[in-house]
């Protein structure tokens, strides 16, 4: 006989009128990590039956868009799309619905069909969450936030690293409402980075000015980069990016072309 999976959160959801016990996972994630705030525009990927949509609407009260392969029964004040989050056509529809400004938060509790084979389910989950991350990067505002469910396994660390490349703050969190035996964990990425590069990228730049704290400033595609080494205005240097924030980055100097030129001229 199948085990009875109805627990406290199941009954609480019934009592308090939420469509799924999963609703409490989002409440707990938000309590701990403060991702959703009043007025936020939120996109929920893999949203059916709609517990997270109800929570998102309750916390934010703003524009909420839910997407799922399955039809989502109407929720007042929530727009829905029936579609596959891995398809470009669905992403286009989401962008049209959210509008040019983009979303403040993308949440994703999507789960692949589980086979019971741990490593296959893990691989399918990583595929789906990788699509969710790509989708989030297209629809989020600069500095927007992301929450995604992942089934743990040997590719988890690599996935965390991918999220870390795109957000300023990244954490993994298991809400109490997740079942104890579940392999699921939630990854939270805060403040989407919009820099046209990542840590360790190298560029040849000219120091355009010296900032108020004495750091040299250069630009890579209009993005501000502060030098950690001493430089002079007008100097041509090769830099390596060492830290990326949402609106600026830090770099170290790994080559000084003016000195190389000077050396050559003196030879
Ligand atoms: C665990 S449920 C989400 C529960 C939801 N957070 C709630 O509180 O009601 C996972 C959902 O992901 C959806 N899903 C899985 N793969 C998807 C895909 N490629 N595109 C859209 N939805 C998908 C499934 O149809 C399913 O409804």
169 with 258, same domain? no
Measured between alpha carbons, how far apart are the two ends of the chain, in Å? 88
**Residue 101 falls inside a structural domain:** yes
Query: Is residue 216, in this structure, part of any structural domain at all?
Result: yes
Domain of 231: which CATH number?
2.40.50.140
Domain end point (choices 135, 160, 192): 192
Q: Which of 23-27, 152-156, 195-199 has the lowest mean pLDDT?
A: 195-199
Q: Which of 4-18, 102-116, 118-132, 151-165 has the lowest mean pLDDT?
A: 4-18
Distance 123 CA to ligand 1 centre (A): 17
Query: Ligand 1 center to residue 67 CA distance, Å?
Result: 8
Range with the largest mean pLDDT of 53-62, 178-187, 195-204: 53-62
Which atom from ligand 1 is nearest to the alpha carbon of 131? 19
Mean pLDDT (the chain) is 93
Q: Which of 172, 192, 212 is the C-terminal boundary of a domain?
A: 192
Q: Let me know if residue 197 belongs to a domain.
A: no
Q: Clarify whether residues 184 and 214 are in a common domain.
A: no
- For residues 77 and 120, membership in a common domain is answered with yes
Work out which ligand 1 atom sits closest to the CA atom of 110. Answer: 12
85 CA to centre of ligand 1 in angstroms: 10
Residues 43 and 67 in one domain: yes
Check whether 205 has a pLDDT greater than 90.
Answer: yes
> Is a pLDDT exceeding 60 seen at residue 3?
no
Q: Is 157 in the pocket of ligand 1 (CB under 6 A)?
A: no
Predicted confidence at residue 262, as pLDDT, reads: 59
Q: Average pLDDT, stretch 215-234? A: 95
Q: What's the average model confidence in pLDDT over 16-31?
A: 96
Asked if residue 207 and residue 120 are part of one domain, the reply reads no
Indicate if 180 and 221 belong to the same structural domain: no
Which atom of ligand 1 lies closest to the CA of 54? 8
Q: What confidence tier does 264 reach under pLDDT thresholds 50, 70, 90?
A: low
End residue of a domain, out of 192, 227, 253? 192
Mean pLDDT of 238-256: 94
pLDDT digits (tens, 9 = 90+) for 38-97: 999 999 999 999 999 999 999 999 999 999 999 999 999 999 999 999 999 999 999 999
Q: If you count them, how many residues does the chain have?
A: 267
Considering its fold, how many domains does the chain have in total?
Answer: 2
Close Cβ partners of 252 (under 8 Å, ≥ 6 residues apart): 227, 228, 229, 239, 240, 242
Strands 184-192 and 167-173, by their bridges, are: antiparallel
DSSP the chain: -------HHHHHHHHHT-S-TTHHHHHHHHHHH----TT--EEEES-TT-HHHHHHHHHH-S-EEEEESSPPPP-TTEEEEES-TTSHHHHHHHHHHH-TT-EEEEEE---PPP-S-HHHHHHHHHHHHHHHHHHHHHHEEEEEEEEEEEE-STTHHHHHHHHHHHEEEEEEE--TTS-TT--EEEEEEEEE---SS-TT-EEEEE--EE-TTS-EEEEETTEEEEESS---TT-EEEEEEEEE-SSEEEEEEEEEHHHHHHHHHH-
**Is 95 in the same domain as 215?**
no
In a domain, 3, yes or no: no
Q: Are 111 and 14 members of one domain?
A: yes
Is 208 marked active-site?
no
163 shares a domain with 51: yes
Chain position carrying tokens 């959210």: 98
Please say if the pLDDT value at position 252 is more than 90: yes
**Residue 217 Cβ contacting ligand 1 at under 6 Å:** no
Which of 46, 53, 114, 175 has most ligand 1 atoms within 8 Å of CB, for mutation? Answer: 46
Which of 27, 59, 65, 68 to probe ligand 1 with, by most ligand atoms within 8 A of CB? Answer: 68
Residue at 105 is within a domain: yes
**Residue 1 pLDDT greater than 50, yes or no:** no
Counting residues of the chain whose pLDDT is more than 90, the rounded percentage is: 82
Query: Do 82 and 16 fall into the same domain?
Result: yes
Confidence of residue 182 (pLDDT cuts 50, 70, 90): confident
- Determine the average pLDDT of the residues in 207-227: 95
138 lies in which domain range? 8-192
What's the CATH number where 72 sits? 3.40.50.150
Query: How is the beta sheet containing 184-192 ordered, strand by strand?
Result: 78-82, 64-68, 42-45, 103-108, 140-151, 184-192, 167-173
113 plus 226 within the same structural domain: no
> Per the residue annotation, which of 25, 57, 63, 149 is the catalytic one?
149
Is the pLDDT reported for residue 99 higher than 80? Answer: yes
Do residues 87 and 139 share a domain?
yes
Backbone angles phi, psi at 241, to 5 degrees: -70, 130
225 CA distance to ligand 1 middle (Å): 40
Residue 1 lies in a domain: no
Q: What is the mean pLDDT of residues 118-128?
A: 93
Tokens of 111: 């789960």
pTM value? 0.86
Distance 49 CA to ligand 1 centre (A): 8
When mean pLDDT is compared across 75-79, 210-214, 248-252, the lowest value belongs to 210-214
């Amino acid at each position: 006989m199948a085990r009875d999976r109805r627990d406290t959160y199941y009954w609480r959801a019934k009592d308090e009128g939420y469509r799924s016990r999963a609703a409490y996972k989002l409440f707990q994630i938000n309590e701990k990590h403060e991702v959703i705030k009043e007025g936020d525009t939120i996109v929920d990927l893999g949203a059916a039956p709609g517990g997270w949509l109800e929570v998102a609407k309750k916390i934010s009260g703003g524009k909420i868009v839910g997407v799922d392969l399955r039809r989502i029964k109407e929720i007042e004040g929530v727009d829905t799309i029936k579609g596959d989050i891995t398809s470009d056509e669905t992403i286009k529809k989401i962008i049209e619905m959210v509008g040019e400004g983009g979303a403040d938060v993308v949440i994703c509790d999507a789960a692949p069909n589980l086979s019971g084979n741990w490593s296959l389910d893990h691989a399918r989950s990583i595929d789906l969450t990788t699509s969710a991350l790509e989708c989030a990067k297209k629809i989020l505002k600069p500095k927007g936030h992301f929450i995604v469910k992942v089934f743990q396994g040997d590719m988890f660390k690599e996935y965390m690293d991918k999220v870390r490349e795109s957000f300023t703050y990244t954490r993994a969190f298991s809400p109490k409402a997740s079942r104890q035996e579940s392999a699921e964990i939630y990854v939270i990425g805060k403040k989407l980075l919009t820099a046209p590069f990542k840590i360790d990228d190298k560029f040849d730049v000219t120091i355009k000015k010296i900032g108020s704290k004495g750091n040299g400033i250069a630009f890579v595609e209009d993005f501000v980069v502060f030098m950690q080494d001493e430089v002079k205005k007008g100097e041509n240097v090769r830099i390596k990016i060492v830290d990326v924030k949402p609106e600026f980055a830090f770099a170290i100097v790994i080559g000084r072309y003016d000195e190389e030129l000077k050396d050559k001229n003196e030879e």
